[in-house]
Amino acid sequence: MRKLIALPLVAAVACSGGAFKDQARDAMPSNDTMSMGSPPSSSSASSSALVSNESVAGQPSDFARLTAAVAVSFNVPTGLFLGLLQHVVEDAEPTSCDANSCTWGPGSEPLNPVSYKLVVSRNADGISFDWVLSGAVKPSTSFVVFASGNAVPGPQRHHGSGNFTIDFEQAAQLAVWSDPSTRPTGQLQVTHYSNVGPAQLQVTYMGARDSTTAGQFNNVAYVYANDATGGGDLQFAIHNTTTQDTFSAHSRWKNDGRGRADVAALTSGTGSLSLSECWSAAPFNVVYFSSSVKVVVNPWGGPDSGSEAQCAYSPAAPSGLAAP
């Protein structure tokens, strides 16, 4: 996704878009207004935090780091992508406009092999705006649509809600990857975002390449919401469509960093498993751990540790999400 975020879409010819141009600009959320928080973490983390044989009170919390890493993985690219669109329509003049649509591009930096085009049009509901982002490998003029969405204006400029889709299979037609096994795959659907009040985000990602096992793919569901006090709530679920293993997690955290993750998994290796882990404020150490498997079984088993009375949230609240 970061490859797409870096798109340099430059308008080549200016025109006066009138009222529609200004309305379209106001409807696009900016990166600043779409900034979604994530639970604090003492260090960066990746999905490798899942591979933790045992959680012990007083030790750094793997699930605090995992929660932060997952939030960053979805929230930051979403905000940057929407910010890119806002930057194009706000800072560049459209090449053409009529009463109900404006087009930015086609164009790009001289040495960029791809020419990009963004079209924003008024939806039939008379309120929201549809947009389509496409590209063509120079010198071709056959444009491939790889992203599209809908933006609903809010009460303030660059505040609103909407949805969008990025099709990585279509985008792959516009780039040459030195290692095709690393390119993004599948289709990412941001089914809902909002920055009217505390930020919210809902995502379904179909056909994502598994980062740990070559040749395997995952479907992912993700739901995120800030709260008015500075804390938040995050759920995600993974379905490995190759092995049929499933995993889900529900993390909640306070504005001081204290939090809890409730996890469930069904794998061919360990069968059904559930666990809960609570952590403190910085340095985010485990204060409570409990697993349905009381012996150390890779990746999550282990004896209970700490006290649930130290948890910021109680009782457990497993995720209700299931990835397709």
Question: Does residue 213 sit within a domain?
Answer: yes
Task: Report how far apart, in Å, the C-alpha atoms of 126 and of each of 34, 100, 140, 195, 290 are.
Answer: 24, 10, 34, 21, 53
Query: Which residue type occupies 21?
Result: K
Question: Does residue 48 sit within a domain?
Answer: no
Beta strands in the chain (DSSP E): 96-98, 101-107, 114-122, 129-137, 144-153, 160-167, 187-194, 200-209, 217-226, 232-240, 246-253, 259-267, 271-279, 286-291, 305-306
Flag whether the pTM goes above 0.85: yes
Burial per residue of 84-111, b for 16 or more beta-carbon CB atoms within 10 angstroms, e otherwise = bbbebbeebbbbebeeebbbbbbbbeee
* Planar angle of CA 165, 64, 34, nearest 5 degrees: 35
Nearest-angstrom CA–CA distance, 10 and 89 = 10
Q: Which of 137-151, 189-203, 294-308 has the lowest mean pLDDT?
A: 294-308
Question: Does residue 136 sit within a domain?
Answer: yes
Question: Does residue 210 sit within a domain?
Answer: yes
Question: Does residue 317 sit within a domain?
Answer: no
Question: Does residue 118 sit within a domain?
Answer: yes
The tens digit of pLDDT for each residue in 243-277 reads: 999 999 999 999 999 999 999 998 877 688 899 99
Q: Are 248 and 60 in contact (CB under 8 A)?
A: no
The pLDDT confidence band at residue 31, using thresholds 50, 70 and 90, is: low
Farthest CA pair distance, the chain: 69
Question: Does residue 140 sit within a domain?
Answer: yes
Q: What pLDDT score does 277 carry? A: 95
Q: Which residue has the tokens 């086609």?
A: 106
The residue-averaged pLDDT of 285-302 equals: 81
Question: Does residue 315 sit within a domain?
Answer: no
Q: What is the dihedral of CA 37, 69, 303, 243, to 10 degrees?
A: 130
| Domain housing 227 | 2-39+54-310
Total domains present in the chain: 1
Per the rule left: phi > 0, alpha: psi between -120 and 50, beta: everything else, 58 is left
Q: What pLDDT score does 146 carry? A: 93
